[in-house]
Structure 1
Amino acid sequence: MKTTSYATVDQTSFPLITVTFTGEKSSNANFKAYLKELDDCYFTQQKLAFIFDATNASVPRLSHQKMQAKWLKENSVLIQEYCKGTAYVIPNKTIQWVLKMILLLQNQPVPYEVFSTYKDAQIWIWNQIQKN
């Protein structure tokens, strides 16, 4: 049985990595695959930054929200060392609330901002990348 991706991770504009949520409902398989792809972004141990585009995101199960928080906690040192910032594109208030819940479970270890448009997120994140 083929799992439909929960999110796509695009590294073609490295050091900017864009994670686009597909709208697919979270399942154990596709959510674990998404977290594995996030792990893989740190493989080269180079400075990077993320835009998480949740424009089409579906609300992940509570167990997956907890899994995301646990991933942040377990990778906090790695994230602090290599990630220059995270921009979230979240026009949907429900998904904004989900992000707040995840970050209540585990603080975001690097600077982040929430935007309603991709363009605004892109401007902010490139400024983060340019910082020393």
Structure 2
Amino acid sequence: MDSYAIIDESNFPIIRIRFTGHKSTNQNFQNYLDQTKACYRFAKGLAIIFDASDAAIPSLYHQKMQAKWLKENEQLMKDFCAGTAYIIPNAVIRAILKMIFSFQKQPVPYKIFESEPEANAWVNGLDLESNSTA
């Protein structure tokens, strides 16, 4: 199975999620959602950079799955996620993100960027300590 996204926690508390460009399937999309939730297992403040530079457009069903995931994990995100940065150079993918957020509002601060340096700068300015139970 081709991964829909690769999750890199090596620079925790900053997590990078890079979409691979592979088409979404029920299995690889659910794996992506499960792995994203697993990033919260330490119950510590974090920030996430989603790199959608190579993203394939997810099906409407998978967009709704993403919106449902946001709703189900809203409190978890509020408790531990200081913010999410999205690297989306493609206007169509930016429109899809807005559609997902129309199904379910993003519960934490976020910003959309066209390049990685901008996203890194924004995330590095977030207060990750305030989103922690430690």
Superposition TM-score tier, normalisation by shorter sequence: over 0.9
Q: Which residue of 2 aligns with 1:123?
A: 121
Alignment of 1:16 with 2:14, yes or no, is: yes
Residue 29 (structure 2) aligns with = 31
Identity across the alignment (%) = 48
Report the secondary structure of 1:12's partner residue.
coil
Give 1:123 deviation, angstroms: 0.2
Amino acid at match of 1:54: A
Measured in 2, the distance between the counterparts of 1:129 and 1:87 equals 14
**What residue number does 1:81 align with?**
79
Which structure shows the bigger proportion of residues in helix conformation? 1
SS at match of 1:68: helix
Describe the SS at the equivalent of 2:85.
Answer: strand
Give the corresponding residue for 1:5. Answer: 3
Give the residue type in structure 1 aligned to 2:62: H
RMSD: 1.0
Please list every run of 5 or more consecutive structure 1 residues that lacks an aligned counterpart in the other structure.
Answer: none
Shift of 1:129: 3.6
**How much has 1:44 moved relative to structure 2?**
1.0
2: CA distance, partners of 1:84 / 1:39 = 15
Are 1:42 and 2:37 counterparts?
no
State the secondary structure of the residue aligned to 1:69.
helix
The correspondence for 2:63, drawn from 56, 62, 65, is 65
TM-score (ref. length: structure 1)? 0.96
The question of whether the paired residues in 2 share the 8 Å contact of 1:15 and 1:48 is answered with yes
Structure 2 length-normalised TM: 0.95
Q: Aligned AA for 2:69?
A: W
